[in-house]
């Protein structure tokens, strides 16, 4: 049971979830034939040729030295004899997967904070009754659930605060679980290099190494005044507390959702607008329901078309207010009609509807805890 006495800091159970090689893993799921080779998702700069950078690489590609941020031409050189798949980034697709995963994760949290497209921090204190054995089981269930629903693996770290939970997930990658109980925090952190602390990049690491601070343990016992002179007071204080394993900040649902969408896989690849509109009736109904429940209106209506080649195309249409269901479906139908008329060869595999530029009907513009 949740203890209500003792050191407040150590009462919480915090979970950090990070999807493994996220963009590249989504590409593998959609095209399993590339999963046994190096996969490199690239952001081409648009200047032609191989100009641009690597965005995500699967673990096979990483074994050749390829990683996020390096130039594409360098990745190609490293992988020249490896039959690698170099793919352009398809952000909307990853966002769709991300939304789905976040929806699943929310069901496991008392409160959840979305940190980025592929990671979230969950306060699971109440869900686990403050019990770490319970947390371990919850982590296993959550991983299985995400895998079943999306085909994706993730890594989970559990600890008494968000910083240690994030580091735990980082060291357990890929497809891992790492539980750090309150009594284990110090020994877990002690020998890790300072670079493992969130917020310590190459620059700060170098400054710390120069004064003989190599490990998180070194940092925990370093003199605060000395650190302050080196890095400024705010950074020094954060780092010292983080290194001691006691930096604590509540988990808050901050994510402002400015759009809601629903995407379905069509029964068959098709370009029949009546068929598409019919299949979108249920998703449209869902969107209207979510908008009503959250008391929001939308200023734009969008459609999402994913072709049989998995190309993603979106269109958007300004609206004054969310129309009733039949009217909304009529607009959606005509948007698909126009899109398909412009692309005579196009066959759709998936189709979706999106309400965006959401606003509270009461006039507020910030939306929280939504959906
Ligand atoms: N990303 C990017 N450019 C970077 C870093 C990341 O475009 N320099 C994108 C692609 C990643 C996603 O963000 O798939 C998530 O970033 P992560 O740092 O979590 O990296 P991965 O998920 O790819 O790998 P890991 O298994 O190490 O988490
Ligand atoms: Ca990741
Ligand atoms: Ca991440």
C-beta atoms surrounding 2 within 10 Å: 12
What is the structure's pLDDT at 3?
38
Of the listed ranges 42-51, 109-118, 161-170, the least confidently predicted one is: 42-51
pLDDT score of 253:
84
Q: Which amino acids bring their CB within 6 angstroms of ligand 1?
A: 18-23, 55-56, 68-69, 117-118, 173-174
194 contacts: CB under 8 Å, gap ≥ 6: 200, 204, 205, 208, 209, 213, 214, 215, 216, 218, 219, 243
Residue partners of 317: CB distance under 8 A and separation at least 6: 300, 301, 302, 331, 335
Taking the C-alpha atoms of residue 16 and residue 75, their distance in angstroms, rounded to an integer, is 30
Q: In 10 A of CB 232, how many CB atoms?
A: 10
Residue 121 CB coordination number (10 Å)? 27
Which pLDDT does position 256 carry in this prediction?
63
pLDDT value at 85 more than 80: yes
> With bands split at pLDDT 50, 70 and 90, how would you rate the model's confidence at 56?
very high
Instruction: Pick from 69, 118, 167 the residue to mutate for probing ligand 1's pocket: most ligand atoms within 8 Å of its CB.
Output: 118
Distance of CA 190 to the CA centre of its chain: 29
Mean pLDDT, residues 183-201 taken together: 97
**Measuring from atom 1 of ligand 1, which residue has the nearest CA?**
55
Q: What percent of the chain has pLDDT over 90?
A: 82
Q: State residue 186's pLDDT score.
A: 97
Helix axis angle for 325-342 and 281-293, nearest 10°, is 130
Closest CA to 280 of 338, 310, 322, 325: 325
**Residue 257, pLDDT score:** 66
Cα distances (Å, whole numbers) of residue 49 to 79, 81, 98, 210, 262:
17, 19, 30, 41, 35
Three-state DSSP class for residue 81: coil
Residue of 321, 320, 311, 317 whose CA lies nearest to 350: 311
Give the residue carrying structure tokens 């793919």.
87
Residues 154, 170: Cα–Cα separation, whole Å = 11
- Cα(337) to centroid of ligand 3, in Å? 38
pLDDT band of 125, cuts 50, 70, 90: very high
> Is 233 within 8 Å of 209 (Cβ atoms)?
no
Look up residue 88 and give its two tokens.
Answer: 């352009």
Which residues, other chains included, contact 319 with Cβ-Cβ below 8 Å and sequence gap of 6+?
A: 298, 299, 300, 301, 331
- Residue-wise pLDDT for 204-249, tens only, equals 999 999 999 999 999 999 999 999 999 999 999 999 999 999 998 8
Pocket perturbation via mutation, ligand 1, pick of 43, 44, 45, 55 by most ligand atoms within 8 A of CB: 55
Residue 357: pLDDT band by 50, 70, 90 thresholds? confident
pLDDT at 158: 98
What pTM does this model have? 0.74
**pLDDT number for residue 371:** 31
Best CA proximity match to 120, nearest among 152, 148, 155: 155
Would the pLDDT of 370 be above 60?
no
Quote the pLDDT of residue 192. 98
For ligand 1, what atom is nearest to the CA of residue 69?
8
Report d(CA 157, CA 299) in Å as an integer.
39
pLDDT for the residue numbered 6: 41
Beta bridge partners of residue 300, listed in sequence order:
318, 356
Kindly state the average pLDDT of the residues 328-352: 96
Identify the residue with better confidence: 136 or 255.
136
pLDDT surpasses 90 at 358: no
| DSSP structural state of residue 50 | T
């Amino acid at each position: 049971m949740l203890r209500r006495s003792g050191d407040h800091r150590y009462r919480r159970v915090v979970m950090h979830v990070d999807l493994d090689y996220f963009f590249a893993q989504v590409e593998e799921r959609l095209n399993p034939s590339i999963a046994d080779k190096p996969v490199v998702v690239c952001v081409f700069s648009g200047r032609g040729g191989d100009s641009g950078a690597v965005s995500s690489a699967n673990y096979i590609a990483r074994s050749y030295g390829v990683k996020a941020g390096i130039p594409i031409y360098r990745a190609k050189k490293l992988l020249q004899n490896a039959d690698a798949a170099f793919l352009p980034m398809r952000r909307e697709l990853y966002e769709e997967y991300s939304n789905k995963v976040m929806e699943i994760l929310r069901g496991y949290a008392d409160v959840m904070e979305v940190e980025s497209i592929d990671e979230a921090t969950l306060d699971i204190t109440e869900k686990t009754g403050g019990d770490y054995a319970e947390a371990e089981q919850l982590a296993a269930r959550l991983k299985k659930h995400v895998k079943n629903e999306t085909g994706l693996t993730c890594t989970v770290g559990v600890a008494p605060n968000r910083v240690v939970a994030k580091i735990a997930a980082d060291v357990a990658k890929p497809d891992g679980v790492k539980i750090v109980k309150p009594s284990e925090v110090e020994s877990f952190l002690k020998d890790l290099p300072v670079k493992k602390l969130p917020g310590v990049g190459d620059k700060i690491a170098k400054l710390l190494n120069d004064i003989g601070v190599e490990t998180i343990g070194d940092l925990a016992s370093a003199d605060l005044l000395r650190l302050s002179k080196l890095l400024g007071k705010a950074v020094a204080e954060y780092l010292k507390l983080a290194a001691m394993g006691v930096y604590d900040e509540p988990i808050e649902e901050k994510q402002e959702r400015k759009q809601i969408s629903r995407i379905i896989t069509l029964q068959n690849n098709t370009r029949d607008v009546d068929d598409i509109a019919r299949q979108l009736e249920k998703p449209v109904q869902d969107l209207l329901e979510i908008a009503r429940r959250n008391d929001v209106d939308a200023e734009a209506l969008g459609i999402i078309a994913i072709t049989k080649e998995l190309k993603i195309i979106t269109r958007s249409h300004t609206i004054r207010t969310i129309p009733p269901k039949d009217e909304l479906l009529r607009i959606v139908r005509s948007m698909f009609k126009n899109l398909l008329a412009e692309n005579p060869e196009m066959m759709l595999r998936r189709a979706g509807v999106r309400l965006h530029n959401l606003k509270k009907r009461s006039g507020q513009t910030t939306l929280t805890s939504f959906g």
